[in-house]
Amino acid sequence: MLQFIVDEAKCTRCGQCVCDCPSRIIEQTAGAVPFIRPANEARCIQCQHCLAVCPPAAVSIFGHDPAHSRPLTAGSFPDLEQMLTLVRGRRSVRRYCDENVDPALLQRLLAALANVPSGVNRRALTFSVIDDKTVMRQFRLRALNGLAAAEKAGRVPAQFAYLIPAVPAWFEQGVDMIFRGAPHLLVVSAGPEAVCPEEDVNLALACFDLMAQSAGLGTVWCGMAKMALELLPDLKASMGLQPGHFYYAMLFGLPSFRYARTVQRDAAAHVHRVSA
């Protein structure tokens, strides 16, 4: 089932795969290569830690050849200064160019999302994306027309009253308060099979946020889009969102401007140090 294979010629018998297995199902006897008993295979959470941790690339699992993985060396990750600048410098972008993101770039970003952390490595996430500005334009019109009809019929509950000013802003001024004129929308959802759906969704969006901004794109977490989806069931269904699934939305695209510097708010971090 797992196709757990150890190349005896490469294996140094170091035992790192044994020690690093979260499910503790990899075993090793003195002088022998590691193995997994068939009775324990069902306990595997498919994290591939064994493949990743093996120094000589001797471990294969699920038919994955370690030679096809990207090697990790001292210079593989952004250094601390780069990460600190990214976290301080990324901003919520609300002004976008009216053009599509390069499909190849978007595919790279979406493929990388398969690697984001999730509770018990359950990976019970669905990534619903509008990847074409024409489709996004149609989606925007459906949402704003639906909101206008709901308001006229008195069907906007108090918790969604924040959306009401978006109707005259759009129809009288041409201002898109909800979707900010963004060409693309990503909605990440998690079903009841997820162990911690809210955390999984937010982690995935946070990773997409940082990757996208590193690629020169703009992003904004969009609570108003979620309100619109909740208010308009047909719109929600068109995004492939299922009842009972937790989800959140993010707008993204090529920004029509660039920020020139970071802001200065490090002092706003409230740190509570726990002492003995």
- Which of 139, 168, 161 minimizes the C-alpha distance to 231? 161
Query: Is residue 235 within 8 Å of 142, Cβ to Cβ?
Result: yes
Q: How many CB atoms lie within 10 A of CB 84?
A: 12
Task: Report the pLDDT averaged over residues 32-60.
Answer: 97
Decide if pLDDT at 216 tops 90: yes
Percent of the chain with pLDDT over 90: 99
Q: Among 46, 40, 35, 48, which residue's Cα sits nearest to residue 5?
A: 35
- The answer on pLDDT for 261 being more than 90 is yes
Which CATH architecture describes the domain 82-253?
3-Layer(aba) Sandwich (3.40)
Structure tokens at 258: 């660039």
**76: DSSP letter:** S
Mean pLDDT estimate for the chain? 97
pTM: 0.94
Mean pLDDT of 220-237: 97
Task: Report percent pLDDT > 70 for the chain.
Answer: 100
Query: Which pLDDT tens digit goes with each residue over 13-30?
Result: 999 999 999 999 999 999
In angstroms, rounded to a whole number, what is the distance separating the alpha carbons of residues 231 and 146?
Answer: 9
Single-letter amino acid, residue 31: G
Nearest to 110 by CA among 186, 197, 220, 199: 186
pLDDT of residue 273: 94
Task: List the alpha helices (DSSP H) in 91-240.
Answer: 103-112, 133-152, 166-173, 197-214, 223-231, 233-238
Segment 116-174, tens digit of pLDDT? 999 999 999 999 999 999 999 999 999 999 999 999 999 999 999 999 999 999 999 99
- Confidence at residue 34, expressed as pLDDT on a 0 to 100 scale: 98
Structure tokens, 1: 């089932």
Q: Using CA of residue 179, residue 185, residue 186, residue 192, what is the dihedral sign?
A: positive
Do residues 208 and 257 make contact, with C-beta atoms less than 8 angstroms apart?
A: no
Whole-number pLDDT of residue 205: 98
On the question of pLDDT at 255 being above 90, the answer is yes
CA separation (Å) from 89 to 92, 126, 214? Answer: 10, 28, 10
| Range list for CATH 3.40.109.10 in the chain | 82-253
- State pLDDT tens for residues 74-84: 999 999 999 99
**Is residue 1 predicted with pLDDT exceeding 90?**
no
Alpha-carbon Rg for the chain in angstroms: 23
The residues of the chain that CATH labels 3.30.70.20 are 5-68
The architecture CATH gives domain 5-68: 2-Layer Sandwich (3.30)
